[in-house]
Structure 1
Amino acid sequence: MKIIIPAAGQGTRLRPHTHTLPKVMLPVAGRPIIGHILADVAALEPEEVRLVVGYRGETLEAYARDAFPDLRVRTIRQEEQLGLGHAVFVALEPGDHGEILIVLGDTVFDVDYAAVVSRPDNVLGVRRVPDPERFGIVELDSAGERVVRLVEKPALPKGNLALVGLYFVHDGERLRTAIEGLVGDDVRTRGEYQLTDALQRMIDDGEQFVPFEIGNWFDCGKPATLLDTNRELLDRGAPEPDTTRFQASTIIPPVFIGPECTIENAVVGPHVTLLGGATVRDAVIRDSIIGERATVQGFVLERSIIGPGARAVAPPRSLNLGEESEIIC
């Protein structure tokens, strides 16, 4: 089995952090987004993992090889951002007749991958959502067992079973042929070659697809959802930090505290990722991500993202307030 992870997106909604890092390299719960995904799929012992990269792809390639030396990882560059279908197309090769698992590179799934790839049919990962018009939607047959139609972001959805970005096909060559047909005919939806359109061609040609409802999925596409994912993953099992080395400070789990961090006269947590070499002094931080070598001093932070090496330092304030005075900052 080969695994394809599209990870070429620039992450414009996550700027300024993606000015210097690929989106999938942003940290959540102590490691890059892509690190959580690779750790999950490594248990499948795939023949190869193909990372589709673009902007600053060399950073992603170096991380994958260093962090997962036992995983055979190959990078394929997507020169133009022409949609998810195109990203998968550049990763597929003629003769890829074996099993292919596709996992979006900016989403962490709560799913039993082994159960997904053990199914005898092609599989689409799905979850019921309250706002189906924002997603690709799966329509099932009358028995509710087989996929008959895929609709990308329908204005009037017929159901609420959404595609979540997890796909498993038994014959990669058939998928490649379907996408090649889209590209050859220049069939685009909203200006891009959509993977859903290629899968629909396979369904129309008689390929059987079944839905697989996942437990949850954690999107990392914008600051709010990145912080939500950090919170969820820390709740799922953050390591217990050694709090004895921090002076006059309170650590409130769950948190991730990397090596060589300095915490003095501060309150850190809950739901804080503090990466290696970061410094927190005279501050209160909760529900935030603090990058490597970053410094936070004199601030009360909540729902914040501080990039690597950044400094947020506020000097002490002196106040002289009379009766019933009020300052709101």
Structure 2
Amino acid sequence: MKIIVPMAGMGKRMRPHTLTVPKPLIPIAGKPIVQRLVEEIAKVSDEKIDEIAFIIGDFGKEVEKQLCDIATNLGAKASIYYQEEALGTAHAIYCAAPSLSGKVVVAFADTLFKADFVLDEQADSVIWVQKVDDPSAFGVVKINESNVITDFVEKPKDYVSDLAIIGIYYFKDGNNLRNELKYLIDNKVIVNGEYQLTDALENMKNKGLSFMPGQVIEWMDCGNKDATVHTNQRILEYHKKDELLGSNYIAENSIIIPPCFIGENVNIKNSVIGPHVSVGANTTVTNTLVRNSIIQRNSKLENLNLENSMIGNYVDIQGDVSEWNVGDFATFSK
């Protein structure tokens, strides 16, 4: 089994955090988003993950090493491909054409999920879906009485289905997908200025391939600050029985209200942390109340009352702030 992860986007809705790090490497409860994504995919598959192919922009060698380490930790080969121009979902996936063979999962790296199903690897294709209250904001699928997908509809104005596509797809034969993507690009089949994956899926369906829905328990977005903080909360809840506290942190005259993630060498003094807080390694928190927030590595927080906040790496903030969204290497004092 191979996992293909398109992640070359700029992550503009997550700025300022994506000015220094790609969005899929932002940590959620102590692990990068993309790491949690591929680990969850591995859990629903009975087969070993042989390869993880990451499609990236010019992110630099350090990022590439992090991605390779994520694959290695799952016992998989890492492949790095580049998308130099944003030409749509179909084009992004086709950048990894050499890896599109055999059983393949394509997973866009801006979403997390929880599922209780085992992937039916004998199906031609499985499209991960989730029921939503407002289908008009999503691409959705229609299914028949045999639980087979009959149509893909992009942001329907009128109700046709409430099963939204969450951006994760399984293909029993990646060659079929590669051929359809190549057809779109060779024939310049462009919609709204981009090559669309849904056009390839529609062509595959019209050629007789069967698409099944795989409904997840929960779909968690990482598209902006508020959504990412909420996803951090949900992941902490799912893992609250796990050991999320580092073995080498100091909490002096302080209270940690679970579930929280506390990284290595964190120093907490005269503070209350939690619930639903992630604190990255080597961060110091003093005289501070923090709830429902993400604080990354090597930062210093003092005399704060924080909630629904996201703090980057190497940040120094002092003063009475109730909610904050600040990227790396920033300093604020009040």
* TM-score, reference length from structure 1: 0.89
2:111 paired with 1:107: yes
- Rounded Cα–Cα distance in structure 1 between residues aligned with 2:70 and 2:184: 36
Q: Secondary structure, in 3 states, of the residue corresponding to 1:93?
A: helix
| Residue-by-residue CA offset, 1:115-152 (whole Å, 9 max, x unaligned) | 224343311111111111111111123x2521121112
- Of 54, 58, 63, 2:61 maps to 58
What does 1:1-329 correspond to in 2, within 5 Å? Answer: 1-42=1-42, 44-56=47-59, 58-69=61-72, 70-93=75-98, 96-112=100-116, 115-141=118-144, 143-238=145-240, 239-241=243-245, 245-314=250-319
Quote the offset at 1:97 in angstroms. Answer: 4.0
| Residue-by-residue CA offset, 1:135-170 (whole Å, 9 max, x unaligned) | 1111123x2521121112222241111111111111
Quote the offset at 1:178 in angstroms. Answer: 1.1
Quote the offset at 1:41 in angstroms. Answer: 3.8
Q: How many residues align?
A: 312
- Taking a change above 3 Å as real, the CA distance of residues 309 and 97 of structure 1, as seen in their structure-2 partners, is closer
Q: Secondary structure, in 3 states, of the residue corresponding to 1:179?
A: helix
Q: Secondary structure, in 3 states, of the residue corresponding to 2:112?
A: strand
- Rounded Cα–Cα distance in structure 1 between residues aligned with 2:265 and 2:193: 47
Match of 1:326 in 2: none
In angstroms, what is the RMSD of aligned CA positions?
2.0
| Residue-by-residue CA offset, 1:274-307 (whole Å, 9 max, x unaligned) | 0000010011011001110111101100011110
Structure 1: which 5+ residue stretches go unaligned?
A: 316-329
Deviates more, 1:103-112 or 1:10-19: 103-112
- Taking a change above 3 Å as real, the CA distance of residues 159 and 224 of structure 1, as seen in their structure-2 partners, is same
- Rounded Cα–Cα distance in structure 1 between residues aligned with 2:217 and 2:238: 13
Structure 2: which 5+ residue stretches go unaligned?
A: 321-334
- Taking a change above 3 Å as real, the CA distance of residues 55 and 223 of structure 1, as seen in their structure-2 partners, is farther
Please list every run of at least 4 consecutive aligned residues from structure 1 whose deviation after the TM superposition is greater than 4 angstroms. Answer: none
- Taking a change above 3 Å as real, the CA distance of residues 131 and 189 of structure 1, as seen in their structure-2 partners, is farther
Quote the offset at 1:71 in angstroms. Answer: 2.3
Quote the offset at 1:188 in angstroms. Answer: 2.3
- Rounded Cα–Cα distance in structure 2 between residues aligned with 1:243 and 1:268: 16
* TM-score, reference length from structure 2: 0.88
Q: Which amino acid aligns with 1:193?
A: Y
- Rounded Cα–Cα distance in structure 2 between residues aligned with 1:57 and 1:207: 39
Identity across matched positions, percent: 35
- Rounded Cα–Cα distance in structure 1 between residues aligned with 2:25 and 2:157: 33
- Taking a change above 3 Å as real, the CA distance of residues 240 and 137 of structure 1, as seen in their structure-2 partners, is closer
- Rounded Cα–Cα distance in structure 2 between residues aligned with 1:233 and 1:41: 15
Quote the offset at 1:218 in angstroms. Answer: 1.2
- Taking a change above 3 Å as real, the CA distance of residues 157 and 196 of structure 1, as seen in their structure-2 partners, is farther
Cα contact 2:125–2:210 (8 A) shared by 1: yes
- Rounded Cα–Cα distance in structure 1 between residues aligned with 2:307 and 2:154: 36
- Rounded Cα–Cα distance in structure 2 between residues aligned with 1:65 and 1:307: 23
- Rounded Cα–Cα distance in structure 2 between residues aligned with 1:39 and 1:140: 28
Match of 2:329 in 1: none
Cα contact 2:68–2:79 (8 A) shared by 1: no
